[in-house]
Structure 1
């Protein structure tokens, strides 16, 4: 078994077919099939089961894929580390970011563009659960996201906490008597649309627990992991939402009104996160260090 065979194997897994994998690898199909067969013979296992034209991993195949990904990721880390010994700060910086944390990005990118113009940014958006999975699977190197985070092998630099705010359509201001601050018992009457992660606990639980503490039941009409969708729906007068204050920064909507929540001691924490056991490239470390 060698690195090339592992790379071929992972490509077949990702493409689901020998034909597609061969095209991606710019090689003929028969030699790729032969490499796969050699790998199976050496390990004395069956790595794939055929289902029509698709290849499905066996349990042995899943185990090999999981470990092969780690080996290939470690190899890329080694290459990066060696290259950086003689090169300046360059390469691609893969960053994950939650939409509620977008406001932290522009200043950092502007700084890097000025100081390290040869760095290429690769930005992937998603909720905290999705971003954490990308980090663990080494698809990204660093992320800016909301807490809490379920994974244990993650290090973090925490930003200053921020309060939650209520966002309603401007045309609804009369429903709350044009107040600048509002209590939860008044909010519970409004049709609420809340952020909810794809999996795991997060903003949704923080907000609903605040209502429970006051023995209130909010009128939740919609759950969604994408804050931009919530803003669009508020702007369209579908309902109201509760989000961290920083989530609305740099957003522009004609029909949105912001109100402080006066009787709920709920705050959102966010920060920059990275894997504990992964070598950090120079540009990744500098990106993390830029958050004072």
Structure 2
């Protein structure tokens, strides 16, 4: 069995049909079927079960699909590492970011693009949990995420902390003191829509605890992992939200107004993360250095 056969096998498994897989591989169907047959003969077991028109992986096939994928990824990363010993900064970077951290990414990419004009980018958006999974699955190399994180599988470059702000419809009569500051008592009964990641502890729990520390039980009417969706709802007058201050710099919405939270102890923390013990392309290493130079002054 060789790497080419392994790629063929994974394509058939993804498409669940030899015909579709052959089309994606730009080859005829009979040679592809023959390669799968040769693999099964070499292993002396079945990799697929036919269910109508679909081919479903056997238990052995599932193991080969998962571990074979890792082998192919490691081989491709090895080729990248070898090429980078002699080639310049070219190719495509795979990066992720939460929307509430997007202002950090846009600032760093502006600088990086000027320094390395031949680079291309593929961006992935999601909450912290989703982006952690993308890194583990090797879909992206690094991500800018919101803390906290529960996993210890990642290297972390912490970015500057920032305050959370209340964002409400401009038409609301929000009682604020001098300096456009709102006391937590004013949030009582206010319909709040908060960021809530798909899985694990995050900003949602931090805001709830902060409210309770100030003696109020927040009136949560909506939970969502997407900051722009929440801000859009605020602009429509549905409710108010609490987001990191820099989120408002990255996305422009009309009909909203932001307020500082009086005596708030909680801060929004963000970080650049990448997986431990995994080779990073030169481009990713340089981008991390750009973040460090731009935001980490200590």
Question: Any conservation in 1 of the 2:176–2:183 contact (CA below 8 Å)?
Answer: no
Q: Could you tell me which residue of structure 2 aligns to residue 243 of structure 1?
A: 243
Cα shift at 1:99: 0.6
Instruction: Tell whether the 8 Å contact from 1:141 to 1:284 is kept in structure 2 after alignment.
Output: yes
1:158: which partner in 2? 158
- Taking a change above 3 Å as real, the CA distance of residues 220 and 51 of structure 1, as seen in their structure-2 partners, is farther
The structural deviation recorded for 1:214 is: 4.1
1:33 aligns to 2:33 (yes or no): yes
CA displacement at 1:137 relative to structure 2:
0.7
Displacement over 4 Å in runs of 4+ = none
Q: Provide structure 1 residue ranges, at least 5 long, that are not aligned to the other structure.
A: none
- Please give the alpha-carbon distance, in whole angstroms, between the structure 2 residues aligned to 1:20 and 1:80: 29
Counterpart of 2:296 in structure 1 is: none
Instruction: Please list the CA deviations of residues 183-222 of structure 1 after superposition, one character each: whole Å capped at 9, or x if unmatched.
Output: 3232131111111112222111111222333453211111
Structure 1 residue 8: deviation in Å? Answer: 1.3
Measure, in 2, the Cα distance between the counterparts of 1:109 and 1:190. Answer: 38
CA deviation string 1:74-129 (max 9, x = no partner)? 11111111111221111111111111111012222222222111111111111111
**Residues matched between the structures, number:** 291
C-alpha distance in structure 1 between counterparts of 2:247 and 2:7, whole Å:
40
Q: Which residue of 2 aligns with 1:231?
A: 231
Q: Is the 8 A contact 1:171 1:255 kept in 2?
A: yes
1:275 corresponds to: 275
2: CA distance, partners of 1:96 / 1:290: 16
| SS in structure 2 at match of 1:60 | helix
Secondary structure in 2 aligned to 1:95? strand
Contact in 1 for aligned 2:176/2:182 (Cα 8 Å): no
Could you say what the CA RMSD is over the residues aligned between the two structures, in angstroms? 1.8
| 1:176 corresponding residue in structure 2 | 175
TM-score normalised according to structure 2 size: 0.91
Which residue number corresponds to residue 46 of structure 1? 46
Counterpart contact for 2:196–2:224, Cα < 8 Å: yes
Judged with a 3 Å threshold, the aligned counterparts in structure 2 of structure 1 residues 234 and 178 are, in CA distance, closer, same or farther, namely farther
Deviates more, 1:87-96 or 1:26-35: 26-35
TM-score of the aligned structures, taking structure 1 as reference length = 0.93
1:46 aligned counterpart, secondary structure: coil
Q: Does 1:218 align with 2:218?
A: yes
Alpha-carbon distance in structure 1 between the residues aligned to 2:242 and 2:52? 47
Q: Deviations over 1:29-64 (max 9, x none)?
A: 222222223223333343333343333333322222
Q: Indicate conservation of the 8 Å contact 2:228/2:251, yes or no.
A: no
**CA displacement at 1:241 relative to structure 2:** 0.5
